[in-house]
Amino acid sequence: MNLDFSDEQKQLRDQVRRFLSEKCPPEAVRAILEGDERYDKSLYAGLAEMGLLGAAIPEEYGGVGLGHLELCVVAEELGRVLAPVPVSSSIYLAAEFLLLAGSENQKSEWLPKLASGEAVGTFALVEGQGRVRPDKIAASVKGGKLSGAKMPVADGFDADFAIVAARDEAGGISLYLASLAGDGVTREVLETIDPTRGQARITFENVSVEPLGATGDGWYIATQVIDRAAVLMAFEQLGGADRALEMARDYALERMAFGRPIGSFQAIKHMLADMYVSATLARSNCYYGAWALGSSPAELPVAAATARVSATTAFQHCSKNNIQVHGGMGFTWAFDCHLFYRRSNGLALALGSLSTWESELIERMSAGNAETAA
């Protein structure tokens, strides 16, 4: 029995934490929130330089070939500091699509650039309001040309290419690799609840694309990649939840009211205890997800949904109560509480909303994996 990270992985965590505490203080997140840049380019370059973007990319494609557990460690640390970088789009999604379904040429062309941070990739799936379903995808490819509009696309304005889910000529859903630099692509930055992570609308008009994976397999491949990304995203959420809890705890220790630290009042203390419970359940469920991601593909569908539901719940819980513990100060622009609140509610929707994942979890359990939760 070993449901823990190894000593080497813990060393990596310490190393990443030190790096991020220097390169990604709250001011760096605020600079993206308040400025014109959509992500922190120097931070992203630094992550690439440390080999963190390529942690799970094999060496033959320019990565460092560690593995997904190491990427989980990195994700948690990025989540703790709300790193304003396109790692989820480029690494959890685009790189995983290429690794799982890309042709040799596609992998050789793009993976080294993703690992080095020279290029950013993303996944363009959603087409507006409502839960994503195959029948709601209207973007289509005819004669190798893609037309349609995708929104929101995370990091879409800054990405060099996108993996696009679109209707193929047989009416099925297929995946296509689209360069976003050429003619026929129009991009627009969208306003969101969390401007520290960019979202865009991308419109394609007869854009030349190449297929990624077999025709008609789009939904199947996307589901697999989204499950992988869900575990990594859950680790980001876990890091954010832990940090929001720590902020609330620190404030409760320092803030005096009625002649005593507010953390001595049970109303506050119990709120913090409940946040700790949420974060602890999420951590244990994330470890389960990490184990499945690393070594049990058969259990990944249930484990990914479990980690994702638990971590989404925990981050939302901790970030909203962090504001509550801070009282009025927590609702000021100057305090960092809203950064966590924004990110928790943004991440809760990325890769599918909480209710979508709840539904997926139970559907997957009833499909034969029920004993895994016993």
Partner 1 sequence: MDFEDTPEEAAFRKEVRAWIDANAPKHLEAELRRANFGSSGVVSEDPIAAGKAWQKKKAEAGWACLHWPKEYGGAARTPIERVIWGQEEGPYAALSGPFTIGHGMCGPTVMAWATEEQKRERLPPLASGEEIWCQLFSEPAGGSDLAGLRTRAVKADDGSGDWIINGQKIWTSGAQNSDWGLLITRTDPDVPKHKGLTMFFLSMRTPGVEVVPIKQANGASGFNEVYFTDVRIPDTQRLGAVGQGWEVSLTTLMNERLSIGSGMSAGFPELFRFCMEAEVDGRPAVEDSSVRSKLAQFAVRQSGLKYTGMRAITALSKGETPGPENSIGKLVAGATMQDLSIYALDLQGQAGVLWDESSPQNGRFQSMLMRSPATRIEGGSDEILRNIIGERVLGLPGDIRVDKNVPFKEIPTSGKRK
- Can residue 253 be called a binding residue for partner 1 (CB under 8 A)? yes
Q: Which stretch binds partner 1 (CB under 8 A): 33-41, 177-185, 213-221, 258-266?
A: 258-266
Q: Identify which of residues 33 and 354 has a Cβ nearer to partner 1 in the complex.
A: 354
- Can residue 373 be called a binding residue for partner 1 (CB under 8 A)? yes
Q: Identify which of residues 106 and 344 has a Cβ nearer to partner 1 in the complex.
A: 344
Q: Identify which of residues 199 and 312 has a Cβ nearer to partner 1 in the complex.
A: 312
Site string for partner 1, 19-58 (x = CB under 8 A): ----------------------------------------
Site for partner 1 in 338-357 (CB under 8 A): 355, 357
Q: Which stretch binds partner 1 (CB under 8 A): 106-114, 191-199, 221-229, 248-256?
A: 248-256
- Can residue 257 be called a binding residue for partner 1 (CB under 8 A)? no
Out of 51, 65, 184, 294, the only residue in the binding site for partner 1 (CB under 8 A) is 294
Dihedral sign computed on CA atoms, order 128, 130, 131, 134: negative
- Can residue 235 be called a binding residue for partner 1 (CB under 8 A)? no
Residue 320: CB minimum distance to partner 1, A: 17
314 in Cβ contact with 278 (< 8 Å)? yes
- Can residue 8 be called a binding residue for partner 1 (CB under 8 A)? no
Q: Which stretch binds partner 1 (CB under 8 A): 82-90, 148-156, 170-178, 279-287?
A: 279-287
Contact partners, residue 84, CB within 8 Å, separation at least 6 = 24, 28, 29, 32, 33, 39, 40, 43, 196, 197
Our CA angle for 328, 34, 91, nearest 5°, is 105
Contact partners, residue 236, CB within 8 Å, separation at least 6 = 75, 76, 78, 79, 88, 347
List the one residue out of 251, 266, 259, 239 whose CA is nearest residue 324: 251
Residue 75: CB minimum distance to partner 1, A: 15
Out of 284, 320, 324, 349, the only residue in the binding site for partner 1 (CB under 8 A) is 284
- Can residue 362 be called a binding residue for partner 1 (CB under 8 A)? yes
Residue 232: CB minimum distance to partner 1, A: 15
Q: Identify which of residues 142 and 260 has a Cβ nearer to partner 1 in the complex.
A: 260
Using CB atoms within 10 Å of the CB of residue 186, give its burial: 0 to 12 exposed, 13 to 18 middle, 19+ buried.
Answer: exposed
332 in Cβ contact with 260 (< 8 Å)? no
List C-alpha distances in Å: 13 to 18, 69, 78, 247, 281: 9, 11, 10, 20, 20
- Are β-strands 161-167 and 121-124 bridged in parallel, bridged antiparallel, or unpaired? parallel
Site for partner 1 in 193-212 (CB under 8 A): none
348 in Cβ contact with 322 (< 8 Å)? no
Distance in angstroms (rounded) separating the CA atoms of residues 299 and 334: 44
Angle, helices 266-295/218-254, rounded to nearest 10 degrees: 150
- Can residue 291 be called a binding residue for partner 1 (CB under 8 A)? yes
Q: Which stretch binds partner 1 (CB under 8 A): 35-43, 73-81, 86-94, 269-277?
A: 269-277
Site string for partner 1, 69-88 (x = CB under 8 A): x-------------------
- Can residue 274 be called a binding residue for partner 1 (CB under 8 A)? yes
Contact partners, residue 135, CB within 8 Å, separation at least 6 = none
Contact partners, residue 75, CB within 8 Å, separation at least 6 = 87, 92, 232, 233, 235, 236, 239
Binding site for partner 1 (CB under 8 A): 1-5, 69, 249, 252-253, 260-261, 263-266, 268-270, 272-274, 276-277, 280-285, 287-288, 290-291, 294-295, 305-306, 309-310, 313, 355, 357-359, 361-363, 365-366, 370-374
